[in-house]
RNA sequence: GCCCGCUUGAUGGAAUUGGUAGACAUAACGGACUUAAAAUCCGUAGCCCGGGAACGGGCGUGCCGGUUCGACUCCGGCAGCGGGCACCA
């Protein structure tokens, strides 16, 4: 064997070998158990980044590990190829989105190649191709038939200069990112998918997703936001109609002092028509963006309308109606009643507009009059539990009972009813953008909305478009949108909106099961076999939207007969971000790590020699220039070192800090692994099998540790604890180096230990593992070698060390046989001199013995 | 504003049903090898106090409090940092 390991040569060699052998192609007919390993597919931005390297390395380890364990593994890759950045590139650089995207896919695929991922590339898909998106057009038509898709108006961010709808991320401080002009909120007719039809099921089924991180389940739980409450109908003074309000606190109705409606509420619109001051007020509110954060943090503002309403329990009691900027048309009924004493937002509003504050709940043990007086004088609302006061028929009831009583009374008076409300809103899928899947409908002046007949699918996205005029290029296209109505044959227009790109990512995992099917989205038998995905891996940023939409989509597809299950992802893992220290010049400009020299005392800018300020570690981003190029890293250290560093130290669900010394350390370990074979402490190459060989001393310990490591690493990999798996493999390496050639059986033990190490590390650093495996005389590659199994006989522990504590403080240890009798252990512990001196001659009051663990003596 | 997560040596982290805190690394220091350096190998190390040393004692997992024979781990409160909030993907 060569003295040094040449990673460039070896990595290329094995990648070529795997490709030539088709080592990672999925078996279509197999009696092995299946395992579907999927990483969230990338957006083809042009270059891979370290976040990709981490994501795909994590998945690759699992895929290789499961394959070695005898599973038929599906590990595919594709491209989430529609989206806004392609259009931005078109506007900025004049490149067509299609060309830009396809070129990016090609370069990124090239960049993935040297990582040595065990991907079945024959299943590659790109969502921007008609072969892919035609199927989702069909799905949409099926959803339409099933009543799962419908049209209604909703709010968007509108840039008055660009004549475009802006994404929330394109709104900066309330202004359009390119135009710099204040953004308006506008209502637009759009397509929606009825995710709320599954709200209860999506919520309940979270409990069944036991292999998901708790925090993702909690986030989805909160997102769906089920709350029980009541709809209350307030009579409007001087009118026949009623104001419908949703509340979770009907028990506080006697504390009401106003009602507030959204500015998009029909009543608000009605008044705005003849009230310029209200129009101005609404315009001011519209200057705030559409995001929840923007609305919640904006100052609470209201406008007193001409309307008043009557209290449901006392028609002589009139309440003023305000238009308020914190009431959302999308939630509940777009109207609330305000009880300032028991809701902080209402309290703030009441103080601002000088409205009454009346306490109607007090803690059970409080002095009611004093409590109410303080509450009504202060600015802090009381939202805690308590008993109803000054509330007529509810007096003395606890909050829960009072709610029930209020609802009963409302129902008997026909002034309201109990109801369940979800925070979850229907999914708006229309986007006024070019680079997306066309929505397959036609607007006919005579027939209304007409679905494109299925035999006319796909509705192809035209490529001859111009980005010179503001607005959606599809709407500006001279001919594309003009068609004849499929029903009446008269001139009609195509829908020019395209789908939200979450549409494509909501079913791609199913397409991978049968990616070349051109007659249907996927074959039923194929998805029945492969789905659900056994292990899905991606960023926590997708915790809610992508994952919730996919869960909904699977249910919707199920109800349209596409597949037979509700949950697409059995196991979910959310990895942390890749971070790096940041650097700035004295002038405050960001610097790339490569532009900074840190070898001296302080950091200096290489080009100028001037000092550099070190900033904290943050997620790698182009804007802060704290990025490291994966291609450069692989070129310098090799894919195995990069992969190993990604897996060492940081638990995969936490943020990983990229450091020079970290990748250096990984590189050194790769070299060390080679030396363990090329320059071994024990000459082992001539050694045969271990069976029947007598083992002593370090040789025996090496074999024992090898078996322990098999057991531990197998468990760690199954639970994605890669960092501890690496630590245990390093321990085994240290033990190999410490094996003494003079101990009986050392050559056989060393060979066994080394081969075990190589087989266990192979999923993480596959290239060097193959190289060492081959060099030690194996003809079959590791990709075709079974996962090692630990011999239980070697895992049996005979003696243990027990901690001995006096009053909870460690005072010594004792050695004892496993399962030793408690009395014996107690005697042994009490015999320790340190124990005696710490007891100071007193007899112990109590002795706690936990067999095999600890003896605690209470003195 | 609401929701979620994180906080352990100089640094990343380990300790996974409450039972010896600091595994494994990184950086550092000392030594070996070398003309020298790199690489490699061996060794030291949570902090404080006492001791020549073996060793002994105290403190210690963001902060305050609680439960327990025993708490990084469970409970209550607080602080700091980070993330998400429906048209970025």
A740 token code pair: 């003494």
Nucleotide nearest to A541 (CA to C1'): B84
**CA of A720, C1' of B16: distance in angstroms:** 13
Return the percentage of chain A with pLDDT > 90, whole number.
57
Q: CA A405 – C1' B66 distance (Å)?
A: 38
Distance A694 CA to B39 C1' (A): 37
Rounded Cα distance, A764 and A565, in Å? 33
Which nucleotide has its C1' atom closest to residue A813's CA?
B20
Per-residue pLDDT tens digits for A777-815: 999 999 999 999 999 999 988 888 889 998 888 888 888
Residue A757: which H helix or E strand, with range? helix A746-761
Residue A710 is predicted with a pLDDT of 97
Task: Give the CA A576 to C1' B19 distance in Å.
Answer: 32
| Nearest nucleotide from residue A803 CA, by C1' atom | B20
Q: Does position A34 have pLDDT exceeding 70, yes or no?
A: yes
Q: Give the nucleotide at minimum CA-to-C1' distance from A425.
A: B86
- CB-CB contact of A505 with A429 (8 Å): no
CA–C1' distance A511–B76 (Å)?
Answer: 50
Mean pLDDT value of segment A360-372: 87
* Closest nt by CA–C1' to A296: B1
pLDDT value at A274 more than 80: yes
Say yes or no to pLDDT of A153 above 90: no
pLDDT band at A418 (very low <50, low <70, confident <90, very high): very high
DSSP 8-state secondary structure symbol assigned to residue A684:
-
pLDDT tier, A88 (very low <50, low <70, confident <90, very high otherwise): confident
Q: Which nucleotide is nearest to A330 (CA to C1')?
A: B86
- Which nucleotide has the shortest C1'-to-CA distance from A577? B83
At A47-73, the pLDDT tens digits run: 899 999 999 999 999 999 999 999 999
User: What ranges make up the beta strands (E) of A790-853?
Assistant: 799-806, 809-817, 846-850
Q: Are A303 and A219 in contact (CB under 8 A)?
A: no
Under a CB-based contact definition with an 8 Å cutoff, are residues A381 and A249 in contact? no
- Is A169's pLDDT higher than 90? no
Phi, psi of A193 (to 5 degrees): -105, 140
* Nearest nt to the A833 alpha carbon by C1': B56
- A675: nt with nearest C1' to CA: B40
Selected residue with higher pLDDT from A854 and A169 = A854
Residue nearest the C1' of B70 (CA based): A808
State how far the Cα of A849 lies from the Cα of A826, in Å rounded to an integer: 7
CA of A762 to C1' of B61 (A): 35
CA torsion, ordered A331, A334, A336, A342, to nearest 10 deg: 30
Average pLDDT, chain A: 90
A374 sits in which H/E element: helix A368-377
Protein-to-nucleotide distance from the CA of A298 to the C1' of B62, whole angstroms:
32
pLDDT digits over A342-363, tens only?
888 888 889 889 999 999 998 8
Q: Which nucleotides of B are covered by protein (CB under 7 A)?
A: 1-6, 11-16, 19-21, 23-27, 39-42, 56-59, 69-71, 83-89
Q: Which helix (H) or strand (E) holds A854?
A: strand A854-858
Pull the structure tokens for residue A198. 């599954």
Q: Measured in angstroms, what separates residue A840's CA from nucleotide B50's C1'?
A: 21
SS (H, E, C) A600-612: CCCCEECCCCCEC
Residue A151 host element (H or E):
strand A149-159
Query: CA–CA distance from A383 to each of A151, A340, A449 (Å)?
Result: 38, 10, 48
Query: Which residues, in sequence order, are CB contacts of A811 under 8 Å at separation 6+?
Result: A804, A805, A832, A834, A835, A838
User: Residue A801: which nucleotide is closest by CA–C1'?
Assistant: B20
What is the residue whose two structure tokens read 């004295």? A586
% chain A with pLDDT above 70:
99
What is the average pLDDT across A269-291? 86
The arrangement of strands across the sheet holding A164-166 comes to: A164-166, A149-159, A184-193, A427-428
Q: Of all helices (H) and strands (E), which one includes residue A667? A: helix A660-678
**A209-218, A701-710, A713-722 — which is least confidently predicted?**
A209-218
pLDDT digits (tens, 9 = 90+) for A626-660: 888 999 999 999 999 999 999 998 899 888 888 88
End-to-end CA distance of chain A: 63
Q: Which residue is nearest to nucleotide B12 (CA to C1')?
A: A649
Q: How far is the CA of A811 from the C1' of B51 (A)?
A: 20
Query: Do A669 and A730 contact (CB within 8 A), yes or no?
Result: yes
By three-state DSSP, how is residue A195 classified? helix
Mean pLDDT along residues A432-445: 94
Return the structure tokens found at A140: 């949409």
Q: Which among A618, A685, A594, A672 is positioned nearest to A640, based on CA atoms?
A: A672
pLDDT for the residue numbered A402 = 92
Which residue is nearest to the C1' sugar atom of B13, using CA?
Answer: A649
Indicate the pTM of the whole model. 0.91
Q: Name the β-bridge partners of A171.
A: A176
Note every long-range contact of A459-468, with CB atoms under 8 Å and residues 24 or more positions apart, other chains counting: A459/A137, A459/A494, A460/A130, A461/A128, A461/A130, A461/A434, A461/A435, A461/A436, A461/A437, A461/A498, A463/A96, A463/A98, A465/A434, A467/A87, A467/A90, A467/A91, A467/A94, A467/A434
Burial A786-809 (b: 16+ CB within 10 A, else e): ebbebeeeeeeeeebebebbbeee
Q: How far does the CA of A840 sit from the C1' of B48, in Å?
A: 26
ipTM above 0.85, yes or no: yes
- Per-residue pLDDT, A163: 77
Q: Nearest 5°: phi and psi at A660?
A: -55, -50
CA distance A565 to A209: 13
Query: Distance from residue A853 (CA) to nucleotide B17 (C1'), in Å?
Result: 14
The pLDDT score that the predictor gives to residue A385 is 79
| Protein CA A527 to sugar C1' B73 (Å) | 42
CB neighbour class for A540 (10 Å; exposed up to 12, middle 13-18, buried from 19)? middle
- Tell me the CA–C1' distance in angstroms for A799 and B72: 27
β strands within A464-564, DSSP E: 482-484, 491-494, 498-499, 535-539
Whether residue A614 has pLDDT greater than 90: no
Residue A853 CA distance to nucleotide B67 C1' (Å): 22
pLDDT at A600: 61
User: From the alpha carbon of A548, which nucleotide's C1' atom is closest?
Assistant: B86
* Nearest DNA or RNA nucleotide to A222 (CA to C1'): B3
Distance A126 CA to B59 C1' (A): 60
Give, in Å, how far the C1' of B3 lies from the CA of A699.
55
Could you give the 3-state DSSP secondary structure of residue A370? Answer: helix
Which nucleotide has the least CA–C1' distance to A728?
A: B24
Tokens (6 digits) for A850: 């936990």
Give me the CA A598–C1' B79 separation in Å, rounded: 33
Name the band, by pLDDT with cuts 50, 70 and 90, for residue A587: confident
CA of A578 to C1' of B29 (A): 31
Q: What is the pLDDT of residue A601?
A: 59
Bridge partner list, A177:
none
SS3 of residue A686 by DSSP: coil
Whether A320 shows a pLDDT value over 90: the answer reads yes
- pLDDT value, residue A192: 92
Structure tokens at A463: 């490529």
How does pLDDT run across A466-485, given as a tens digit for each residue?
888 888 889 888 899 999 99
Which nucleotide lies at the shortest CA–C1' distance from A171? B87
- A628 CA, B8 C1': separation in Å? 29
Report how far residue A690's alpha carbon sits from residue A747's, in angstroms, rounded to the nearest whole number.
Answer: 9
Better-predicted residue by pLDDT, A36 or A596: A36
* Per-residue CA distances from A17 to A22, A111, A634, A654 (Å): 8, 18, 19, 34
Checking each nucleotide's C1' against the CA of A80, the nearest proves to be: B89
Give mean pLDDT, residues A393-398: 92
């Amino acid at each position: 064997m060569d003295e040094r390991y040449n990673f460039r040569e070896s990595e290329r060699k094995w990648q070529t070998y795997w490709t030539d052998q088709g080592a990672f192609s999925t078996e279509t007919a197999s009696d092995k158990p299946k395992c579907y390993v999927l990483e969230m597919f990338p957006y083809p931005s042009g270059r891979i980044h370290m976040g990709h390297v981490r994501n795909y390395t994590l998945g690759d380890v699992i895929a290789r590990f499961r394959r070695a364990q005898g599973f038929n593994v599906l590990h595919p890759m594709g491209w989430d190829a529609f989206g806004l950045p392609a259009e931005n590139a078109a506007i900025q650089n004049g490149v067509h989105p299609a060309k830009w995207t396809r070129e990016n896919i090609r370069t990124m695929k090239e960049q993935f190649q040297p990582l040595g991922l065990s991907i079945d590339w024959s299943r590659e898909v790109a969502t921007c191709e008609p072969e892919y998106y035609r199927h989702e057009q069909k799905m949409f038509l099926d959803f339409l038939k099933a009543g799962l898709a419908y049209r209604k108006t909703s709010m968007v961010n509108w840039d008055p200069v660009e004549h475009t709808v802006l994404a929330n991320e394109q709104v900066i401080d309330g202004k359009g990112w390119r135009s710099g002009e204040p953004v308006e909120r506008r209502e637009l007719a759009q397509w929606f998918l009825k995710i709320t039809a599954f709200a209860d099921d999506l919520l309940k089924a979270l409990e069944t997703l036991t292999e998901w991180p708790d925090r993702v389940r909690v986030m989805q739980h909160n997102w769906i936001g089920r709350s029980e409450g009541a709809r209350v109908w307030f009579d409007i003074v001087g009118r026949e109609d009623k104001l419908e309000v949703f509340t979770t606190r009907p028990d506080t109705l006697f504390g009401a002092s106003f009602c507030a409606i959204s500015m998009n509420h029909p009543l608000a619109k009605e008044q705005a028509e003849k009230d310029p001051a209200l129009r101005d007020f609404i315009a001011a509110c519209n200057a705030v963006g559409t995001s929840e954060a923007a609305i919640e943090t904006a100052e609470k503002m209201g406008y007193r309308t001409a309307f008043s309403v009557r209290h449901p329990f006392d028609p002589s009691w009139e309440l003023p109606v305000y238009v308020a900027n914190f009431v959302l048309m999308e939630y509940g009924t777009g109207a609330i009643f305000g009880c300032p004493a028991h809701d902080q937002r209402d309290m703030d509003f009441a103080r601002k507009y000088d409205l009454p504050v009346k306490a109607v709940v007090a803690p059970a043990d409080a002095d009611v009059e004093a409590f109410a007086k303080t509450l009504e004088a202060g600015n802090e609302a009381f939202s805690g539990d308590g008993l109803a006061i000054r509330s007529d028929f509810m007096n003395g009831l606890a909050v829960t009972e009072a709610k029930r009583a209020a609802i009963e009374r409302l129902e008997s008076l026909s002034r309201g009813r109990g109801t369940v409300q979800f925070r979850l809103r229907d999914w708006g899928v229309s986007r006024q953008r070019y680079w997306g899947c066309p929505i397959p409908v036609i607007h006919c002046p005579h027939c209304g909305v007409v679905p494109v007949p299925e035999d006319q699918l796909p509705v192809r996205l035209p490529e001859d478009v111009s980005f010179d005029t503001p607005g959606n290029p599809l709407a500006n296209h001279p001919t594309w949108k003009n068609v004849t109505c499929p029903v009446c044959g008269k001139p009609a227009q195509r829908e020019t909106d395209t789908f939200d790109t979450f549409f494509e990512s909501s079913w791609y995992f199913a397409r991978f099961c049968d990616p070349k099917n051109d007659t249907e989205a996927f074959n039923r038998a194929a998805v029945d076999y492969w789905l659900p995905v056994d292990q899905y891996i991606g960023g926590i940023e997708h915790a809610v939207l992508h994952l919730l939409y996919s869960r909904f989509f699977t249910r919707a597809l199920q109800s349209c007969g596409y597949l037979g299950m509700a949950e697409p992802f059995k196991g979910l893992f959310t990895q942390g971000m890749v971070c790096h220290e940041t650097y700035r010049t004295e002038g405050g400009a960001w610097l790339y790590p490569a532009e900074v020299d840190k070898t001296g005392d302080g950091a200096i800018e290489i080009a100028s020699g001037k000092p550099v300020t070190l900033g904290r570690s943050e997620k790698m981003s182009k804007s802060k220039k704290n990025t490291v190029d994966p291609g450069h890293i692989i070129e310098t250290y090799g894919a195995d070192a990069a992969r190993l560093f990604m897996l060492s130290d940081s638990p995969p669900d936490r943020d990983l800090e990229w450091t020079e010394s970290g990748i250096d350390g990984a590189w050194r370990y790769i070299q060390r692994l080679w030396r363990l074979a090329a320059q071994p402490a024990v000459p082992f190459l001539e050694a045969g099998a271990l069976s029947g060989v007598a083992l002593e001393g370090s040789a025996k310990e090496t074999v024992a540790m090898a078996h322990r490591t098999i057991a531990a690493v197998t468990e760690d990999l199954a639970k994605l604890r890669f960092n501890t798996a690496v630590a245990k493999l390093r321990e085994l390496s240290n033990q190999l180096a410490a094996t003494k050639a003079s101990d009986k059986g050392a050559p056989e033990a060393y060979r066994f230990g080394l081969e075990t190490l190589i087989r266990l590390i192979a999923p993480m650093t596959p290239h060097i593992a193959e190289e060492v495996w081959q060099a030690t005389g194996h003809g079959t590659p590791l990709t075709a070698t079974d996962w090692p199994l630990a011999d239980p006989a070697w895992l049996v522990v005979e003696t243990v060390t027990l901690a001995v504590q006096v009053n909870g403080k460690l005072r010594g240890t004792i050695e004892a046989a496993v399962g030793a009798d408690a009395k014996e252990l107690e005697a042994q512990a009490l015999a320790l001199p340190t124990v005696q001196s710490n007891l100071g001659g007193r007899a112990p009051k109590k002795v706690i013995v936990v067999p095999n663990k600890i003896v605690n003596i209470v003195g």
